[in-house]
Amino acid sequence: MAFIRRAMPRLAHRLTARMACTGLTLPLRRHKSTTAASSTYSKKPIISGHPVGPFQMNMFLVACKDAGQAALVDSGATAAELKYFQNLIEEHGLEVTHLLQTHAHIDHVRGLAVSRELWPDVPIYLHEKDMPVYRNAAQSAAAYSIEIPGGVLPEDNIVHVEDGDVVSVGTSIDLRVLFTPGHCPGHVCYHDAKHAYLIGGDLIFQNSIGRTDLPLCDPDDMDASLERVLREVPPQTVVLPGHMGTTTIEQELKSNPFLIAAMDAVNSTNT
């Protein structure tokens, strides 16, 4: 298991953007495995995603090819869906060392018991403020009439990441934890500055952002999180989102009304 390096949290600022109509409970629009969110992003590190579950949540694998270590991000897959990632793991001779979570909404955690059955000693990485959401998984699953494979989510060996932590996967991947609440009270993103990508969870989507009308969401926190990302993450960064296809900060600043409004707020505080 790789170490977590901790740093002091940075301040966030309030924005004026509000919730989008994309998220957990909307009608499904399935995307095929040929979309950007389902293709291998680069050879070194290995980064690949695949939509899983009834809400077509993008589950990702990021791996250090040199060290042969891999992290699975947002374990929402059934045993059958997880075969996509098992094939990649076997193909590249990888060892799964991290189960990273951006947040604990049911579509992002419903497959953790399946992942843990295959890799029983691998820690789950989740912000502590999302534990109430995590522990409400059974009720959430019942509300949406979806199954939790394995029945019960694991409660053991959970590492509570904090803002500013650096989660190292192998020798080449350093993922800085950005605390980005709003969609969930403990939502985080993982930023690999060296390789210029952001594992964004349900913060930023193509032309949209994560919902803030669900229980424990907070529109003001979402505003602050969007502004923080715009301040700290370079525009050329590739965003690997929790739903829909991959994008970049730069592209969203051209077409996403919520990020455009957020950048206006950033600029206004700089003048």
Higher pLDDT: 56 or 14? It is 56
Task: State what percent of residues in the chain have pLDDT above 70.
Answer: 84
Q: Is the pLDDT of residue 229 over 90?
A: yes
Gap between the Cα atoms of 41 and 246, Å rounded: 9
Report, as an integer, the average pLDDT of 173-196: 97
pLDDT computed for residue 44 by the predictor:
79
Which range (43-52, 64-73, 133-142, 191-200) has the least confidence? 43-52
Rg (Cα) of the chain, in Å, rounded?
17
pLDDT computed for residue 43 by the predictor:
53
Q: Is the pLDDT of residue 256 over 50?
A: yes
Gap between the Cα atoms of 200 and 188, Å rounded: 8
pLDDT computed for residue 151 by the predictor:
85
pLDDT, averaged across the chain: 86
Higher pLDDT: 37 or 150? It is 150
Q: Is the pLDDT of residue 33 over 80?
A: no
pLDDT computed for residue 269 by the predictor:
87
Report, as an integer, the average pLDDT of 136-153: 93
pLDDT computed for residue 81 by the predictor:
97
Q: Is the pLDDT of residue 196 over 80?
A: yes
pLDDT computed for residue 4 by the predictor:
56
pTM: 0.85
Q: Is the pLDDT of residue 11 over 50?
A: no
Instruction: Name the token pair of 82.
Output: 């997880």
pLDDT computed for residue 231 by the predictor:
97
Which range (22-26, 111-115, 257-261, 263-267) has the least confidence? 22-26
Report, as an integer, the average pLDDT of 200-222: 96
Task: State what percent of residues in the chain have pLDDT above 90.
Answer: 82
How far are the Cα atoms of 26, 123, 167, 204, 250 from residue 21, in angstroms, in the given order?
A: 8, 33, 32, 12, 21
* 131 burial via Cβ count (<10 Å: 0-12, 13-18, 19+): middle
pLDDT computed for residue 17 by the predictor:
28
Tokens 């730069």 identify what position? 250
Report, as an integer, the average pLDDT of 195-216: 96
pLDDT computed for residue 1 by the predictor:
41
Instruction: Name the token pair of 102.
Output: 């951006």
Instruction: Name the token pair of 14.
Output: 């309030």
